[in-house]
């Protein structure tokens, strides 16, 4: 298990948090020696400056998505708490900016793991999704239950959900990034791939009204470059527009489990 996840679990234990509704980020932050302020920072979602015992988190004032704001706070808390509760790596003052890609990638991944585990602790998450068929509506329910963005909810499902799904973010009709569950039947979808015409997402990028309904499409339409993806594999697809970034998030899952 990653260090970020482990330390998120320690925090959940330490404060006896039993469910996502009891999770008060600001209270934990304050108890651990952190102050959180909203600020006019530009170029990143959040920043933190800290030493081993206390620190200051600045959150970009212009974030109006509550879920994204919470993930940003949890991410910055992660940097501080991972340092505080890891025996090694003690150092002086550290500064981190979230979202500007300057920071150390390993530390970023750890802080993201911390945030995902803290906000969507695995036992809570697994209990919530248990035996519910996957679809966009479930992702929306997760987002509401855990007070996280749709993207964070979908990524967490792709990581530890009951059924293997793919999450794809597209902009200007091209794939920006994707995250595939390890058991998802197709494996290779490079950034920059074109959104296929068979997809409802294509409608959005071509000025048409996009349906949020689920559709069955050949896996090959998205995974053209994946040589191991079979022509006989069909996937269910659902799309949702993420207006702030003018992007479409697609989730895909297999039509039958054999």
Residue closer to Zn ion by CB (options 34, 134) is: 34
List the structure tokens of 111. 């802080």
Q: Pairing relation of β-strands 174-180 and 215-218?
A: unpaired
**For residues 45 and 59, what is the distance between their CA atoms, to the nearest angstrom?**
6
Residues 6+ apart with CB under 8 A from 161: 129, 134, 181
Question: Binder to Zn ion among 98, 114, 125, 157 (CB under 5 A)?
Answer: 98
Stretch that binds Zn ion, among 5-13, 95-103, 195-203, 228-236 (CB under 5 A): 95-103
Is 114 an interacting residue with respect to Zn ion (CB under 5 A)?
Answer: no
User: Is the distance from CB of 168 to CB of 222 less than 8 angstroms?
Assistant: yes
Compute how many residues bind Zn ion; rule: CB under 5 A.
Answer: 4
Residues 6+ apart with CB under 8 A from 122: 160
Least spacing, CB of residue 170 vs Zn ion, in Å: 25
Stretch that binds Zn ion, among 97-105, 124-132, 145-153, 213-221 (CB under 5 A): 97-105
Specify the DSSP element, H or E, that contains 144. Answer: helix 136-146
Helix (H, G, I), strand (E, B) or coil at 196: coil
Give bridge partners of residue 179 from the DSSP assignment. 167
Tally the C-alpha atoms within 13 A of residue 170's C-alpha that lie toward its C-beta.
29
Least spacing, CB of residue 138 vs Zn ion, in Å: 29
Stretch that binds Zn ion, among 55-63, 90-98, 174-182, 195-203 (CB under 5 A): 90-98
Backbone angles phi, psi at 218, to 5 degrees: -65, 135
Is 71 an interacting residue with respect to Zn ion (CB under 5 A)?
Answer: no
First vs last C-alpha separation in the chain: 30
Residue closer to Zn ion by CB (options 101, 257) is: 101
Residue closer to Zn ion by CB (options 44, 238) is: 44
Question: Binder to Zn ion among 57, 58, 111, 116 (CB under 5 A)?
Answer: 111
Stretch that binds Zn ion, among 111-119, 155-163, 180-188, 240-248 (CB under 5 A): 111-119
Give bridge partners of residue 237 from the DSSP assignment. 215, 252
Is 110 an interacting residue with respect to Zn ion (CB under 5 A)?
Answer: no
Least spacing, CB of residue 111 vs Zn ion, in Å: 5
What letter would DSSP give residue 194? Answer: B
Stretch that binds Zn ion, among 21-29, 62-70, 108-116, 171-179 (CB under 5 A): 108-116
Give bridge partners of residue 56 from the DSSP assignment. 35, 49
Least spacing, CB of residue 100 vs Zn ion, in Å: 9
Question: Binder to Zn ion among 32, 96, 117, 237 (CB under 5 A)?
Answer: 96
Residue closer to Zn ion by CB (options 108, 237) is: 108
The residues of the shown chain that bind Zn ion, judged by CB under 5 A, are 96, 98, 108, 111
């Amino acid at each position: 298990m990653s260090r970020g996840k482990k330390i998120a679990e320690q925090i959940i234990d330490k404060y006896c948090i039993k469910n996502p509704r009891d999770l008060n980020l600001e209270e934990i932050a304050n108890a651990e020696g952190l102050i959180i302020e909203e600020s006019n920072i530009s170029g990143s979602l959040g920043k933190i400056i800290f030493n081993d015992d206390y620190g200051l988190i600045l959150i970009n004032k212009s974030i109006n998505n509550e879920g994204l704001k919470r993930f940003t706070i949890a991410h910055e808390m992660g940097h501080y708490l991972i340092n505080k509760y890891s025996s090694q790596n003690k150092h002086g003052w550290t500064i981190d900016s979230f979202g500007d890609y300057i920071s150390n990638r390993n530390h970023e991944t750890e802080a993201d793991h911390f945030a995902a585990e803290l906000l969507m602790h695995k036992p809570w998450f697994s209990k919530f999704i248990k035996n519910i068929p996957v679809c966009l509506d479930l992702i929306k329910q997760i987002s509401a239950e855990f007070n996280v963005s749709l993207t964070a909810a979908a990524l967490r499902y792709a990581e530890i959900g009951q059924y293997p799904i793919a999450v794809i973010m597209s902009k200007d009709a091209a794939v920006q990034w994707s995250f595939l569950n390890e058991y998802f039947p197709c494996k290779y979808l490079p950034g920059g791939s074109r959104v296929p015409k068979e997809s409802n997402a294509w409608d959005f990028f071509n000025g048409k009204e996009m349906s949020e309904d689920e559709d069955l499409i050949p896996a090959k339409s998205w995974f053209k470059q994946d040589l191991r993806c079979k022509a006989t594999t069909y996937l269910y697809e659902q799309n949702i527009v993420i207006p702030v970034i003018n992007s479409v998030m697609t989730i895909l899952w297999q039509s039958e489990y054999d």
